[in-house]
Amino acid sequence: MNNRLSYGVLINGAGGKMGQTLIRLIHQQPQLGLQVAATRNAAEQVTADFDIIIDFSTPQGAQEAFSLAQSHQKPFLTGTTNLPEAFLQQMQHETKIPVFFAPNVSLSVYFFTQLAQEAARMYRGYGIHLHEIHHIHKKDAPSGTAKKLAEAVCLPASEVTYERMGETVGTHSLRFTSPLDEISLTHKALNRDLFAQSALEIAQWLVTCPAGFYTMSDYAKFKLKEVHS
Ligand SMILES: NC(=O)c1ccc[n+]([C@@H]2O[C@H](COP(=O)([O-])OP(=O)(O)OC[C@H]3O[C@@H](n4cnc5c(N)ncnc54)[C@H](OP(=O)(O)O)[C@@H]3O)[C@@H](O)[C@H]2O)c1
């Protein structure tokens, strides 16, 4: 994909569930090195040079890490959900670095959202139901992924139903119903590695991109081009 042999990563939110999963996977990949594992106040914890910041923390943590990325002129990838609208606008319009944001960084979930959109077009006139299940520690509800899926099938976010159950990584189920039949589409994340591995792959692509704001749709285009070339 590019000529660099290895990239130094700063993980923001390093003590969290995603942070810990990312760190474990980075240690398994020779082309990546963990340069900084920041818990709070990332700016004060920078002890080594790095090539990219990957943030899975909190809205506050994401904003602090974005400022740090800008001051170091390094690419910034965040998967933190429930980000304030003003911050999303700032990342989209005022960035001088490559910035990537997705409420779900899994390419598989991106394709699932495309499938859902296509299904909603085909089953026009059917009732649509979207239900999501996550672990009991999740702070936002409905999930960022559920909001994206709802948007894709033109369902108001207020109609999404949700459950918080045990350690469930993330399940999103869509049902299209008519008086005569019912169609179900479900995506079930079995393991947090699904998101962490995808984030690391996106990071290695992002470091090659010019300044700008990128989403899953940009990354999916790149991946599909790679597959077909
Ligand atoms: N986009 C995706 O595909 C995707 C996938 C999974 C999760 N997520 C999102 O990623 C975020 C993290 O998820 P998680 O499950 O890893 O949550 P988590 O286990 O609660 O981890 C969050 C971590 O961020 C730390 N933190 C709090 N404030 C911070 C700050 N100002 N600066 C740096 N770090 C700070 C927390 O530290 P303390 O414990 O000390 O508070 C905690 O270690 C959530 O928004 C979640 O919805 C997104």
Indicate which residue's Cα is closest to atom 9 of ligand 1. Answer: 80
Ligand 1 centre distance from Cα of residue 59 (Å): 9
Cα angle: 169, vertex 12, 78; to 5 degrees: 65
Residue 62 in contact with ligand 1 by CB distance below 6 A: no
Domain at 107-189: CATH code: 3.30.360.10
Residue 40 in contact with ligand 1 by CB distance below 6 A: yes
Up-side HSE of residue 117: CA atoms within 13 Å toward CB?
10
pLDDT digits (tens, 9 = 90+) for 37-62: 999 888 888 888 999 999 999 999 99
To the nearest 10°, report the CA torsion of 211, 214, 217, 219.
Answer: 60
To the nearest 10°, report the CA torsion of 57, 204, 208, 45.
Answer: 40
Check whether domain 7-105+193-228 has CATH 3.40.50.720, yes or no: yes
Q: Which residues are catalytic?
A: 134, 138
| Average pLDDT, 10 consecutive residues per value, the chain (229 residues) | 74 97 97 93 85 97 96 96 96 94 96 97 97 94 94 96 96 98 98 97 97 97 88
- Whole-angstrom CA distances from 143 to 67, 74, 149 are 25, 28, 10
Q: Do residues 75 and 51 make contact, with C-beta atoms less than 8 angstroms apart?
A: yes
DSSP-derived pairing of the beta strands 182-189 and 170-177: antiparallel
Residue 58 in contact with ligand 1 by CB distance below 6 A: yes
Axis crossing angle, helix 17-27 with helix 193-206, rounded to the nearest 10: 70
Ligand 1 centre distance from Cα of residue 15 (Å): 8
Provide the pLDDT for residue 47: 80
Question: Which phi-psi region, left, alpha or beta, contains residue 96 (left: φ > 0; alpha: ψ -120 to 50)?
Answer: alpha
Residue 142 in contact with ligand 1 by CB distance below 6 A: no
Ligand 1 centre distance from Cα of residue 206 (Å): 21
Reference 143, options 113, 182, 118; nearest CA is: 113
Which mutation among 12, 21, 36, 39 tests ligand 1's pocket best, with the greatest number of atoms within 8 A of CB?
39
| CATH 3.30.360.10 intervals, the chain | 107-189
DSSP for 3-58 reads S-S-EEEEEETTTSHHHHHHHHHHHT-TTEEEEEEESS-GGGG--S--SEEEE-S-
Provide the pLDDT for residue 4: 59
| CATH 3.40.50.720 intervals, the chain | 7-105+193-228
Ligand 1 centre distance from Cα of residue 228 (Å): 35
Up-side HSE of residue 200: CA atoms within 13 Å toward CB?
26
Which mutation among 56, 80, 149 tests ligand 1's pocket best, with the greatest number of atoms within 8 A of CB?
56
Residue 160 in contact with ligand 1 by CB distance below 6 A: no
Ligand 1 centre distance from Cα of residue 50 (Å): 20
DSSP for 91-136 reads HHHS-SSEEEE-S---HHHHHHHHHHHHHHHHTTTSEEEEEEEE-T
Provide the pLDDT for residue 94: 87
Phi then psi dihedrals of residue 217, to 5 deg: -65, -35
Q: Which two tokens stand for residue 1?
A: 């994909």
Provide the pLDDT for residue 176: 98
